Chains A and B, each alone.
Chain A
Amino acid sequence: MATYIAEVRSQFPDAPSEFLTREDRIGLWRAMLLMRGIEQRAMTLYRQGKVPGSFYDGFGQEAVSAGAAFAMGPHDRLCVLHRDLAAHLIRGVAPTRIFGQYMGRAGGITRGRDGNVHFGDYRTGCVGMVSMLPDMMLVATGMAMAFRMRKERRCALTWCGDGSTSRGDWHEAMNWAGVQRLPVIFVLENNQYAYSTPLDKQFAVDPIKRAATYGFPGISIDGNDVEAVFEATRQARERALEGGGPTLIEATTMRMHGHAAHDDMRYVPVELIEQWRRRDPIELQERRLAEIDVDVAAVRAAVEVEIEAGVREALEMPMPDPATATEGVFAEGEAQELGDGAAPWSGFSTPLTALPADASAPAPSPVDDQETHRWAS
């Protein structure tokens, strides 16, 4: 089985997307760098006892959330999982609030209500995950159902893991999305292990083959190639907006760390880790940027500065007031909807000729292009 799991089947083999400008390609790299830097820094904070509970990261999987989120428009909606930090960064969540979240501070995204990567800033169009996987598949499907009913050209996206393909909600969502032909994208983040359980104990039929049986396409890509993830998602989104229905994208990658900080992952063969270490998604994109003469050192330095500033600020945040622990269980007044997120891909502000004229269109509310780029400034 080891040879099978290391195999990457991609319908976009090492092909940079023609829909990405130089700035876009730097932006993708920057999002991955920021994700890894934040998570590495947070792991240090965890070891120092400043992050309570456990700590989960997406080391080695950065391309999957960065590439997919980058293809999503401001009015699109995302349900983000625990190894997808780059999606939050791309949608406009500031690193300092993420550090505050990890440390259970009042200034964290959930104000200490929930920990680690269990968050979503609804103002950025994102819903945070729950631990029961893949519950968010159905939530994303429901969002897409609303878009279709209101005849809006918008799309919903969620990630899911290889382990979650065994649960009923995965099948209910795939079936529902197929039956109603909904504008939803499921990104299957195949990182080889569900905690300690390898793929051969998870399924007898490859999940990507199931897509066709639910009535829509399944596309396999190299999950460590951020541009391939972007391009597959961009195409899936375009299809969805044109009424073509859902897509399952299988992004093959590797969970390079344990399930969480406490897990030494001794159940993973060393050679498998070594094999994937040579395919690091950040290094892969860095080599591409070097070819087009990007000053990668300068980008790295800027990311470092941003992370350190974020940590400093978060460390100064107070812990939540214990008197507020019972507040906010119920909503009061008119329900607040999800807001629009940042969407830094150049395709949304300067439509490329290859795009259908209105691919960046529909806008239930006006888009502020400045606002959508705020994450990168």
Chain B
Amino acid sequence: MGELTYLQAISDGLRCEMRADPRVLCMGEDVGVFGGAFKVTDGFIEEFGPDRVMDTPLAESGIVGTAVGAAVVGLRPVCEMQFADFISCAFDQLVNVAGKMHYRQGLAVPITVRLPSGGGFSGGPFHSQNPEAWFMHAPGIKVVAPSTAHDAKGLLISAIRDPNPVCFLEHKYLYRRIRGEVPEPGYTTPLSARVAREGEDLVVIAYGAMVHAALEATQDIEGARIEVLDLRSLVPLDEAAILESVARCSKVVVVDEANATCAAGAQVAALIAEHAFEDLDGPVVRVASPDVPIPFSPTLEQAVLPGAERIGEACRELLAY
């Protein structure tokens, strides 16, 4: 057991699986000699060689499409999108080829697509997006989004071992800001929610970087006992855990860093409206980015992204309801 950053935990998980399973390879732009734009695969090429740490052409559709081909003949590719935003270029291969393969033809596509996502560092409109909802809407693709170093390693290993295409959303803001105890051997984390803090007066449901914003925001709101539920997995969505928290707390704030419309949190809110109406003591409140591209300038970006302040405010209002 040692303390690792969120980023080191991702590297560690990938390294563990590559050591344990010769079928696992990582591929992407600049992941080999350079070690990746964020250095997740730093030093990998020396250990595993250029075939298994593959510097690919600048071709996102090519990265996902060839990964599908390699997967159906027995490999376990882990694709890196340099930034999650670039997955739009590979959307078709992921949604139409990988996502529908098993339903149509009974053929599994075990690929993992790593998506460095999220804003908060002036990345601008093309380096700050949270595209998870696109893939929640597409059948046949699993979507996970860890918030801690421990889960980053465990969920990556779960994703690699899963026989389905899995989008692994790793939040760039957390890369070097979050640390935690991470066991040395490989382990899996279940694709289910985790109670980050127990409470009974209100629950904040979040995932990824917003879990930390929620924890910070609700540390002390007039002595209320506020639960924070970390979804960890968006597909499958842990409906039982969500409904259980709602039944216990009766008041819910759902947080997305993503643009509000049809975001993961919208699905959570719909689920609660449909199945937990009787448990509620107030409206389901959502906190998310407005439907605008994520702006570059720090003042504009902070005006858009949800943070502890907005989450705290939403909680205060709902507690007073």
Residues of A in contact with B (beta carbons under 8 Å apart):
77, 109-110, 113-114, 118-122, 127-128, 130-132, 135-147, 149, 156, 168-169, 172-173, 175-176, 179, 328-338
Contacts and interface: CB of A to CB of B under 8 A. Distances in A.
Main secondary structure of the interface of A (DSSP, over half): mixed
A166 B163 CA distance: 33
B163 A331 contact: yes
A127 B72 contact: yes
B57 A179 contact: yes
A135 B96 contact: yes
B293 interface: no
13 contacts: A114-B105, A127-B101, A128-B104, A130-B100, A132-B96, A138-B93, A140-B69, A141-B66, A143-B70, A146-B69, A331-B163, A335-B110, A337-B74
Contacts of B59: 172, 175-176
B56 interface: yes
Nearest to A178: B57
Nearest to A156: B69
Contact of A146 (B70, B105, B106): B70
A128 B103 CA distance: 12
A127 B100 CA distance: 12
A308 B69 CA distance: 36
B74 A146 contact: yes
A334 B105 contact: no
A139 B72 CA distance: 9
Given A149-B75, A331-B163, A142 B68 contact: yes
B65 interface: yes
B163 A145 contact: no
B76 to A, nearest CB: 9
Nearest to A146: B70
Nearest to A118: B104
Nearest to B66: A142
A142 B104 contact: no
Nearest to B64: A138
Among B25, B59, B109, B139, the most chain A Cβ lie within 10 Å of the Cβ of: B59
Contacts of A131: 96
Nearest to B100: A130
A320 B70 CA distance: 31
Contact of A149 (B51, B92, B164): B51
Contacts of B73: 77, 143, 146-147, 337-338
A173 B110 contact: no
Interface string B37-65: 00000000000000110001101011011
Given A120-B107, A138-B66, A330-B140, 18 more contacts: A77-B72, A130-B97, A135-B96, A139-B65, A142-B68, A142-B69, A142-B70, A146-B73, A146-B75, A149-B52, A168-B61, A169-B62, A169-B92, A172-B62, A172-B65, A176-B66, A330-B164, A331-B109
Nearest to A142: B69
Contacts of A336: 106-108
A169 B107 contact: no
Pairs of residues from A and B, 9 with the lowest C-beta to C-beta distance, nearest first: A142-B69, A138-B65, A142-B66, A335-B108, A331-B108, A172-B62, A335-B163, A331-B163, A139-B69
Interface in B91-145: 92-93, 96-97, 100-110, 139-140, 142
B51 A113 contact: no
A63 B163 CA distance: 37
B163 A329 contact: no
B311 interface: no
A122 B105 contact: yes
Nearest to B49: A149
Interface string B171-214: 00000000000000000000000000000000000000000000
Contacts of A127: 72, 101, 105, 107
B252 interface: no
A138 B69 contact: yes
B67 interface: yes
A119 B74 CA distance: 20
Contacts of B101: 127
A122 B74 contact: no
A245 B71 CA distance: 21
